[in-house]
Structure 1
Amino acid sequence: MSAALLPPSLSSIFSSSSSASNPYPLHCVSPPFNLAASRPARSFLLGATASYSDPSDLSLVSPTSDLTVQALDQKLLTLLRQRKTEDAWIAYTNSPHLPSPTCLSRLVSQLSFQNTRSALTRAQSIVTRLRHERQLHRLDANCLGLLAAAATKAGHTSYATSIVKSMLRSGYLPHVKAWSAVVSGLASSGDDGPVEALRLFKAVTRRVRKFNDLQIVSNSRPDTVAFNAALNACANLGDSEKFLQVFDEMPQYGVEPDALTYNVMIKLCCKTDRKDLLVFVLERILELGIPLCMTTLHSLVSAYVGFGDLKTAEKLVQAMREQRTDLCKILRESGSEDLVENDESVFKKLLPNLTKQSDNEPPLLPKVYAPNSRLYTTLMKGYMQAGRVSDTVKMLEAMRRQDDRSSHPDHVSYTTVVSALVKAGAMDRARQILAEMTRIGVPPNLMTYNILFKGYCMQLQIDQARELLKEMVDDAGIQPDVVSYNILIDGCILVDDSAGALAFFNEMRAKGIAPTKISYTTLMKAFALSGQPKLAHRVFDEMLNDPRVKADRIAWNMLVEGYCRLGLVEEAKKIIEKMKENGLYPDVATYGSLANGIALARRPGEALLLWNEVKERCRVDKEGGKSDSSIAPPLKPDEGLLDTLADICVRAAFFKKALEIVACMEEHGIPPNKTKFTRIYVEMHSRMFTSKHASQARQDRRIERKRAAEAFKFWLGLPNSYYGSEWRLEPIDGYDSDSL
């Protein structure tokens, strides 16, 4: 796709600010709150867009009298008390002066409480105005907490986190419902979310502990919900040590674990590959007398499905169907061979019943729990993941025949069957299930359509995906989300349609849907694969300027690959240097792309430099890691990287380096392709040293290279002067083996 054929909207995308295409242009590069009016304002951008006048344009200087000001404030306060938030917002925007702290706090609170996109944008615009006017001290802790919770619910955890942190720095203690919501949102987000969740949890609890009078901080003290959010972060990290630390803090605040606490512990067992402990988590719940809920049983079935142990999951569901209460006994018998003897892990402290596992009979459930549609659907997902499509369909039919309506298939059940059929490539049958859902009154949701989009794209039927998108919007009234567009953009890449990928990206932005990291990297991939690295670079720059996403190593690697696919080695090396400056060291994929670019550009000298760097990183790995943070981390090379480097060296007659590389391949258990290297040698170098007319000086200079060539021929098994003796790379006959 040439630049001339690009849609006109491309320039508008990359030339306009993020606030012009997204209703939540949050730039949380620094804390938004600086409540001390004497401090200078920091550089912090918090944009807002809406179809109303910008309140930041209003001047604090009011020509009206004090009486008029009081009347306007009273009018605004009356509207707020009557819950006429829309009218109050209009009155605020039309006010020639800054309202009172009470009015401002109430307005931000009510806008945040609405939990809508436009309301959140308006609340943020008030914060922006107050920050510019250095009047943020007019907002109270309650409204700021509500704003943080609303931002978390909208998916803007970075913005919400900055609010809570700034409140702590300013001496405010947010309500536990507010800060725990932010911790929960961070714990479930990707990237560094769980780590940030634990940091925020510790920051709040550290501040709470500084108060001797517990009554003062009673509304901010962590409760069970807050602890469960922090424990969920530990479980998502798979860090049992931190999990135990947080768990041990619960008694300090008079907090007791509940069923959700142990549901999170089940997740931790899965993350740490401890299937043998699942039954003891269930027994611990029963031992403590914690009310059991279906969510716990669902978590157990889901855990066994995740471990690939469908047999135990089936036993558990079947026992519930038979109205049995001895589930613990069934799980013990099923997992007896998996028990870890002499377990000295932290789980002995988390599950004290581990030490008396052989002394007591397994406890019984307090009552019978019948499986519901969610439980059956989880088992169906296990069948789907195992490729058992027929069993997945049979389970759906069995659920239809259940007398208990709570066991009838819902939209999740049908979506699971659709996913299984899509995975098997049966798109026509999947569309029939979609039509059946509509016919029987179980309407498909967005996830159902996204799975179908994925199926069409994987089968390179992008036109059918477009038709389904139109049908979804026009007939079902369902609007696509960022996941939908990411799938469609990726589908365009599969059919080599970078223009289509850009069109979907533009359409997504035009609808006010904020791109994710996947959106940017997928569009970069489209341009990189189509030989347009400069456009990929422009997408990357846009990604760097978007505070909602963080450019990771995948994005950098995609940019490197874009240049390397055209053999633009120098540009790729500049990107790698910038990558290092940003604290990200190249990985195997980075080096692999660079090696391919070097091969395409036919610059074997660059391959030697790259091999030296790779070799040093491999040496760090062999020596057991790094001791200094300034040193590049260890590297474990893969077959593609080493094979490409060896190929370059053999073609360039750098036989000594080629032998080093193949030795590295063998050391890492990678079998070198001797057949390929033999063919290259015979085609390119079989007559290397046959000239009889070279001068003696030239012949002398060839001795070392000839010796390396003979060693390489020996490794290939070709006729050479080393037969009958073991070849070495060390100097022989007085010659020095300097690097080539």
Structure 2
Amino acid sequence: GESPSSALKNPPVRRNAPPRSRVLSMGGAKHTLARPLLHHSNPPWPPPRAPLAGRRCHLSRTPLRPNLTWEGTRPRAPGAPASSRSKALLGRLALALKAQRVGEAWAAFDALRASGALLPSQALVAGLITASSYSSGARLLPRAYGLALALWRRRPDLLHYDSLARLALTLARAQMAEPAATVLRIMLECGKLPPPPLWSSAISHLARTPAGSHLASAILIELCECFLRCPASSKRSKMTKPDTTLFNLVLDSCLRFGSPLKAQQVIDLMPKVGVVADASSIVAIARVYEMNGHRDDLRRLKPPVDSASSVLLDRHYQQFYDCLLSLHLKFNDIEAAGGLVLDLYRRRSESGTKRAVGKPCMVQVGSGNLKTGCKMLVEPTLLRHDFVVEPECHSGLIVFTNGRLVLSHKAVAKLVDGYIRHGKVRELSELLVSIHKVVGTLVEASLSTDVIVACVELGWLQTAHDILDDMESAGDAAPEAMYALLLMAYCKRNLLGEAKVLLRQMREGGLLVNLSDEKAISLCLSGELPVNRNVFHGTNLVGGSCLAEFLDKEAGEDESGVHLTYEFNSSIFFFCKARMMDDAMKTFRRMQERKVQATVQTFSHLINGYSSLEMYREITILWGEVKRRLEVGILPADRDLLECLLWNFIRGGYFERVMEIVCYMENCDMHADKWKFKREFLKLHKHLYRNLSISNARTDAQSKRLEHVKALRKWVGIDRVKGSN
């Protein structure tokens, strides 16, 4: 009935108690088992008697007596004697594990610790963690996790990679993202590396939730950093090199949960690590480039993709061409968009012939004129069975029908609207004629007829007339029904002068040669003009074709500022990669002068550029720009951007700015990877103000800085347990 506080003041006398000098201590302070044995960046784990969410997990089934100690500062000497009770408990633990009685094993382990004896061997500890990981008991998995954390902090020599790997995989399967990520990071830091396939297995489960995806990408980046630090011929290098499947899993999860900035970091690591980009990688990379506006990088992937052959690959690369066409249109590059469309129709015409099989080749990642650029090996025909991206068209511009890639009505509408806005009707006509010649069938002539019908239904009669004239001049005259349709539209709008000009052209082509102008106009108004209407089969001339509806919608949207945003961002990105920050900021100011709204990508490019030069003060100025836009709601709150700012401010020592971002992220209920920030803080500012209090500050500025440092240490978890840092 004695309370824990009274037990601490008056510890009971025990026989065979270990000497007081053997009590675990750190920083001159003694620690009992009532205190947590490890402080880490993740939130405290819940107790085993409660539901798994929201409570602290102890290392034993019942709360440990506060007057008992754990002698775990160093391993037992080979010849060190053990008490008979300790031997009995060790034997009981071994037998319970052998019989798979996990509850009895934990009871023996708790009794062993309560007796003050040395810890079990590595094999027994590994067996206990493994058995708890595979047990059906809901309370045992968090206990195994807590034990692994404590041992990592105090006795990492007792941890084994196999038991940690099983624990991490089980936690990931149970969707315990932070505990699973913590165990994976422990393995990475301790050098207890599992077989390479485990990384993919664990991350495949982690990447199913937004928080898990965020942690999975961070772990992959840390894994790549570890690999790049190792000698190429070392065993550690072979164990830490991530494979293509691992990159594909992380890229796909970043795309699903809207983290294009994090995905870009992952892509930049692929050529450095030497990973081969397969067909799935290429599609994922294309989607990331499309979201970030990196059109030049995406263009470099087109030649190897064009060389890939087969119906399966055509269907797979639907997303690639969709992303590339979308970027051409966003950059307002209508000529490039038209060229891509023509290439797609040529690809269709060659589908029945033997095409060159795509071979592995090197593709430049980043600008070839910059030292920061590097080359990545791509295999466009390599479509792995262990990971396949589901073909789906995100922009809805390219569709896969009857074994071929075709333009959707949305894509045709954007293309036609772009040509008309630029006053390039002749170029539009040339494109339609070229497509007709490439395909060479009457069925494919429906593209040109659909365009003419849509223009007529929207009242763009002069545009339709120009297309008819251009096609006739190119020797590829449109069907006679198109002329009749335009003639009827002229007559209904009482544009008789234009109608007579069109009638003259029709007679020169051998149409309506026996009818006078008045008779032809009369028949048009009555709907009895004698023309061949078979070409209208499947087209709704009365209610308007589907293309006309899309074209009307496109014409009503004002996207004049979109292409300016992409063009400015592209220039800023180039200057930042080249570390030409003065030019980048001049471009940013021009962007502001022209009232073009900066995006998340704009600030990401600028922050990364300044970060590469360690110009953290300039980043604080950018944070002011970002904060103002966040407050008025013209910039979306992006976790990757905020974490990038947070990381740079920790490196630069701007702790007040750090806590501003921390408060904002907490208010927005954003998950923050505290492990990463804790590691960065300890690497650069481990002993900063560690033993000072606010009363030691001489000025108000020092007092505030000390307060912010203390708040940061508490947030990442360094000061949660006294002496644990």
Query: Would the TM-score normalized by the shorter structure come out above 0.5?
Result: no
Who wins on radius of gyration, i.e. which is larger?
A: 2
The TM-score, its normalising length taken from structure 1, stands at: 0.33
TM-score (norm 2): 0.34
1 or 2 for the larger relative contact order (CA 8 Å, sep ≥6)? 2
